[in-house]
Amino acid sequence: MIHFVLLQNRQGKTRLAKYYAVYDDEDKRYLESEVFRLIVSRPKEYTHFVEFRNIKLIYRRYAGLYFIIGCDINDNELAFLEVIHLFVETLDEYFGNVCELDLVFNFYKVYAIADEIFMGGEIQETSRTVVLNRLAEIEREE
C-alpha cells in the first residue's frame, strides 16, 4: 500500500503531498524534511529505493524535482518506479512539456491528477488517456 506521494524540488520545497496513511500535521512537516534530507544526499548511481522508518521510499528525479512514493516494505519496488513515470508522463501530457512552475501555479490540478491515478493507497488507473479524458470532462463540468 502507498503511504504517501510526495513531490519536492531540490531546495526541499514540497510541491505536492498526498497522504494515504495517518500522520498528524507536525509529523508530516517533519517527515517531509527528513525524507528530503535522506534522498537529496544520495548520489545518482545509488538505488532508487531506500528504507525509511518502517516503510520504503521509491524515488525518481526529473530535472530539479523528486517524485517520491512511500510504500510497504514488501511492495514491488520496480512497479512503483514505473508508476512514478506514469504520473510524470500524465503531467507532461496534461501541461504540455511540464515544468516546475506549472506545478506551482496549478497545484490544485496536480492534486486532481494524483487523485485520478492513486486512490486510498492503491493504483487506481494506469491509462494516461483515461485520466486525461476524465480531467477534460471535469473541467467542462465546471
By CB under 8 A, the residues from 45 to 84 that bind other proteins are 45-51, 62-65, 76-79, 81-83
CA–CA separation, 65 vs 72, rounded Å?
23
Choose, by CB under 8 A, the member of 3, 6, 14, 37 that binds other proteins. 14
| Minimum CB–partner distance for residue 17 and other proteins (Å) | 7
Residue with Cβ nearer other proteins (16 or 69): 16
Distance CA 80, CA 58 (A): 7
Q: Does 37 bind other proteins (CB under 8 A)?
A: no
Q: Using alpha carbons only, what angle is made at residue 65 by residues 111 and 91, rounded to the nearest 5 degrees?
A: 40
- Specify the amino acid at residue 110: V
Q: Is 13 in the site for other proteins (CB under 8 A)?
A: yes
Based on the shown chain and the rule CB under 8 A, indicate whether residue 30 belongs to the binding site for other proteins: no
Among 37, 55, 69, 124, binds other proteins (CB under 8 A): 124
- 137 forms part of the interface with other proteins (CB under 8 A): yes
Give, to the nearest 10 degrees, the angle between helix 128-141 and helix 77-95: 40
Whole-angstrom Cα distance, residue 90 to residue 95?
Answer: 9
The correct pick among 8, 34, 35, 134 for binding other proteins (CB under 8 A) is: 134
Q: Minimum distance between the CB of residue 1 and other proteins, rounded to whole angstroms?
A: 8
Strand-by-strand arrangement of the 55-62 sheet: 14-19, 2-9, 65-71, 55-62, 49-52
Which amino acid would we find at residue 2?
I
Applying the rule CB under 8 A, the residues between 94 and 123 that interact with other proteins are 96-102, 104-108, 111-112, 115, 119-123
**CA-atom Rg of the chain in angstroms:** 15
